C-alpha cells in the first residue's frame, strides 16, 4: 500500500568522463564512482539503457584549463566528445543530458569568467553559456543543464538554441541551488581548482522557500522545461514547495556529499547500505521530485528489480 514509488525511469545517472584517463580513476571521497575513460563511459551508458534509467548527466574533466574555460566550446573538448559518444550508444532509448557550466574548464574553478577585480562577471559569462549550449546541442545532447546560477542563464541559452535551430533541445534548469558544503566530493570528482566558495551566485541555505520559488519562476519564464532543486536531502521542504508551486517536472539532485555520507557510514557497518540507499531515494520522491539525479541510479535500478 506504499504511496511512493521509485522506478528506474525516474533516475538519472551523473557521470564523469576524463580526457586523459587510460583506465577508470576511482574518486576516493565517492567510493564506487569513477572518472570514466571514453570507453568505460560508453559501457556505463549502455548499462543505463539496459536498466531502463531515464537518463545520464555528463560532466567533462578536461586535461587542460584556461581563464575563460574555452574547452567547453571546443567540439573536440572532452564534454562535447562524451556527449557524442553517449548519444551514439544510447540512441533514443535514454536522455543524454550535459552539464552547462564553466567550473570544470576554468583555471580558477568558478562557474563563470572573472572581471578585472576577480569577481564572477555574470553577463560576460552568459555569452559563453549561450555558445556552450549550442555546442552541446550540436554534439547531440537531448537536454542541457545550466548549473552555474548566473542570472538570466536559461533565457540566453533558450534564445541561442532556438536561433541555431535546436528548438527541441530541452533545458533542465538548476533553478534552486544552495551554496552547500555537501558538494565537497564533487570537487574531487571533477578535479576542481576552486579556492573559496560560490556564495556570490549560489543561494543562502538559510533563506526560506520565497527565494527558491522566485528563482523557479524566473527560470520558467525564461524557458526552463524542467526545474531542479539541489542539494536534495537538506532541502526536502524546498522540493515539496517547488513541486506544489510549478506545473513543469521537478528534478532533485542527490548530490556527492549525500552519497558519501551513506557510503561512509555503511562502510563502517553503522547502517544497512542497500536499505539506506532506497530509503534516501524514497524520501526525495516523497518530497515531490519527479526525477532524481543520483550516483546510485544504476545500482538502485538493480535493487528495485530484485524486490
Nearer to ligand PBG by Cβ, of 61 and 287: the residue is 61
What nine digits make up the cell of 86?
Answer: 553517449
Three-state secondary-structure class, residue 254: strand
Concerning whether 177 is annotated as a catalytic residue, the answer is yes
Least distance in Å: CB of 86 to ligand PBG?
A: 17
Instruction: Give contact residues for ligand PBG (rule: CB under 6 A).
Output: 99, 101, 103, 111, 147, 183, 186, 198, 255-256
**Catalytic residue check, 199:** no
Question: Given the complex with ligand PBG, which of 149 and 213 has the nearer CB atom?
Answer: 149
Q: Taking the complex as a whole, how short is the minimal distance between the CB of residue 239 and ligand PBG, in angstroms?
A: 16
- Residue 128 CB contacts under 8 Å (≥ 6 apart), including other chains: 68, 69, 72, 73, 102, 112, 113
Backbone angles phi, psi at 222, to 5 degrees: -85, -5
Contacts of 40 (CB under 8 A, 6+ apart): 23, 24, 34
Residue 100 CB, shortest distance to ligand PBG, in Å, is 8
Environment class of 195 (CB within 10 Å of its CB; exposed 0-12, middle 13-18, buried 19+): exposed
163 versus 181: smaller Cβ distance to ligand PBG: 181
Is 198 labelled as part of a ligand binding site? yes
**Backbone φ/ψ region at 97: left (φ over 0), alpha (ψ -120 to 50), beta:** beta
Is 18 annotated in a binding site? The answer is no
Instruction: Give the containing element (helix H, strand E) for 225.
Output: none
Find the catalytic residue in 43, 65, 199, 230: 230
The owner of cell 526525477 is 291
245 vs 283 by CB, closer to ligand PBG = 283
Binding residues for 5-aminolevulinate: 187, 198, 256, 295
The residues carrying an active-site annotation are: 177, 230
Binding residues: 187, 198, 215, 256, 295
Amino acid at each position: 500500500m506504499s504511496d511512493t514509488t521509485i522506478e528506474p525511469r525516474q533516475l538519472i545517472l551523473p557521470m564523469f568522463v576524463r580526457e586523459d584517463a587510460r583506465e577508470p580513476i576511482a574518486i576516493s571521497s565517492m567510493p564506487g564512482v569513477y572518472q570514466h575513460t571514453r570507453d568505460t563511459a560508453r559501457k556505463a551508458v549502455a548499462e543505463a539503457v539496459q536498466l531502463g534509467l531515464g537518463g545520464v548527466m555528463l560532466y567533462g574533466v578536461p586535461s587542460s584549463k584556461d581563464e575563460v574555460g574555452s574547452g567547453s566550446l571546443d567540439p573536440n573538448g572532452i564534454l562535447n566528445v562524451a556527449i557524442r559518444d553517449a548519444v551514439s550508444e544510447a540512441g533514443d532509448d535514454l536522455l543524454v543530458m550535459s552539464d552547462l557550466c564553466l567550473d570544470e574548464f576554468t583555471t580558477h574553478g568558478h562557474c563563470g569568467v572573472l572581471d578585472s577585480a576577480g569577481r564572477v562577471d555574470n553577463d560576460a559569462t552568459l555569452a559563453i553559456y549561450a555558445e556552450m549550449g549550442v555546442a552541446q546541442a550540436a554534439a547531440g545532447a537531448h537536454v542541457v543543464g545550466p548549473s552555474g546560477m548566473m542570472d538570466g542563464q536559461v533565457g540566453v541559452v533558450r534564445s541561442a538554441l532556438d536561433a541555431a535551430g535546436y528548438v527541441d533541445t530541452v533545458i533542465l534548469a538548476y533553478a534552486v541551488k544552495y551554496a552547500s558544503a555537501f558538494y565537497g566530493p564533487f570537487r574531487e570528482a571533477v578535479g576542481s581548482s576552486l579556492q573559496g566558495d560560490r556564495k556570490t551566485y549560489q543561494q543562502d541555505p538559510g533563506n526560506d522557500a520565497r527565494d527558491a520559488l522566485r528563482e523557479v519562476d524566473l527560470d520558467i519564464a525564461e524557458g526552463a522545461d524542467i526545474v531542479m532543486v539541489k542539494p536534495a536531502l537538506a532541502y526536502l521542504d524546498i522540493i515539496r514547495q517547488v513541486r506544489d508551486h510549478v506545473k513543469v517536472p521537478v528534478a532533485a539532485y542527490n548530490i556527492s556529499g549525500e552519497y558519501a555520507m551513506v557510503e561512509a557510514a555503511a562502510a563502517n557497518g553503522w547502517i544497512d547500505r542497500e536499505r539506506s540507499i532506497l530509503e534516501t531515494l524514497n524520501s526525495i520522491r516523497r518530497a515531490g521530485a519527479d526525477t532524481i539525479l543520483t550516483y546510485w541510479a544504476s545500482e538502485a535500478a538493480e535493487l528495485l528489480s530484485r524486490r
